[in-house]
Amino acid sequence: MDLQHTLDDIRDAVRPYLGEGKVARYIPALASADPKKFAIAAVTVDGEQFVSGDADHRFSLQSISKVFTLTLALNAVGADLWKRVGREPSGSPFNSLVQLEYEHGIPRNPLINAGALVVTDAIVSRCGGTLSPIETILGFIRDRAGNDAIAVDEEIARSEAETGFRNAAMGNFIKSFKNLDNDVATVLDVYFRQCSIAVTCAELSRSMVYLANGGVDPVSGERVVAAERARRINAIMLTCGHYDASGDFAYRVGLPGKSGVSGGIAAVVPGKMAVAVYSPGLNERGNSLVGTLALEMFAARTGNSVF
């Protein structure tokens, strides 16, 4: 069956499940998401785009932005980044702060909030030249997605900042171990804004395809990262991309992926394509319930699993 049919079939197959799960409620802009929305999109390493469902509906990247900032920071800092952040799965969320303490302010990996703050701090210090840090990040995502109109949703960014006490705790805690170079407030501001960049599901799949294609954007032909680095970012997504459900996602879907609390998930089929899904209802681990189901169907129907 061709890819378009597969995506359409999945869209139809998940319909009965739409509305299950719980939309994130900690800020109004997320709480008002329509739980019936669903989109799935793919871009192959040939640059072909396939979409099904509400593929033009815009949502904030949230934690998916961590994959892009990791790419940027690795390009800027290189392997030295690993002195400041680990690459091991983090275990239960309960342990996040105690692990930071036990490991002297070195976050477990760049895809949990603590690690993402360190990555953003590295970008604040090292990237951009004349561009501000958030412009650098935004520019990178616009390039990846091929759309210069992509922007920060300022309302979401403001809400994130107003309710982000836990991230502020984390930032200050890391700073107390001298593992942030810049002001906590500066890093948090960039972080909250990177999380609030709004994309469509189509753009999301398009923007991730460099990781399926050995580090080269197949549309523009631009080399984004070295092939080995792309593989390694995929490895980190597989082991750490879904918080404390990373093992479950690997078990059920078998693809590197990264989820965001707004309901998006981006996944990579190495050598073949990037796939993105959107559905705002979350499962009890904070990942898109129907999105995970859709990717499980995708992997099962297409035989695309890294295992």
Within 268-297, the residues that bind its own copies by CB under 8 A are: 270
Q: Which is nearer to its own copies, 104 or 149 (CB)?
A: 104
Q: Which is nearer to its own copies, 55 or 190 (CB)?
A: 190
Catalytic, 51? Answer no
Catalytic, 243? Answer yes
- Closest distance of CB 299 from its own copies, Å: 9
The torsion defined by the Cα of 266, 240, 117 and 139, in degrees rounded to 10, comes to: -30
Strands 49-53 and 39-44: antiparallel
Catalytic, 288? Answer no
- Taking the C-alpha atoms of residue 181 and residue 178, their distance in angstroms, rounded to an integer, is 7
Residue in the structure block whose two tokens are 């958030």: 134
Catalytic, 261? Answer yes
If DSSP codes are grouped into helix, strand and coil, which group holds residue 265? strand
Within 135-194, the residues that bind its own copies by CB under 8 A are: 165-166, 168-173, 175-176, 184
- Taking the C-alpha atoms of residue 132 and residue 262, their distance in angstroms, rounded to an integer, is 25
Catalytic, 191? Answer yes
| Best CA proximity match to 33, nearest among 272, 283, 306, 262 | 262
Site string for its own copies, 66-95 (x = CB under 8 A): --------------------xxxxxxx-xx
Q: Which is nearer to its own copies, 28 or 271 (CB)?
A: 271
Evaluate whether 254 touches 305 at the Cβ level (below 8 Å). Answer: yes
Question: Could you tell me the two tokens for 42?
Answer: 């793919």
244 binds its own copies (CB under 8 A): yes
| Number of neighbours of residue 79 by Cβ within 10 angstroms | 8
Q: What is the total residue count of the chain?
A: 307
104 binds its own copies (CB under 8 A): no
Q: Which of 22, 126, 223, 232 binds its own copies (CB under 8 A)?
A: 232
Active site residues: 63, 66, 191, 243, 261
In the complex, which residues of this chain contact its own copies (CB under 8 A)?
Answer: 86-92, 94-95, 97-99, 101-103, 108-109, 165-166, 168-173, 175-176, 184, 230-232, 234-236, 238-240, 244-248, 250-251, 254, 256, 270, 305-307
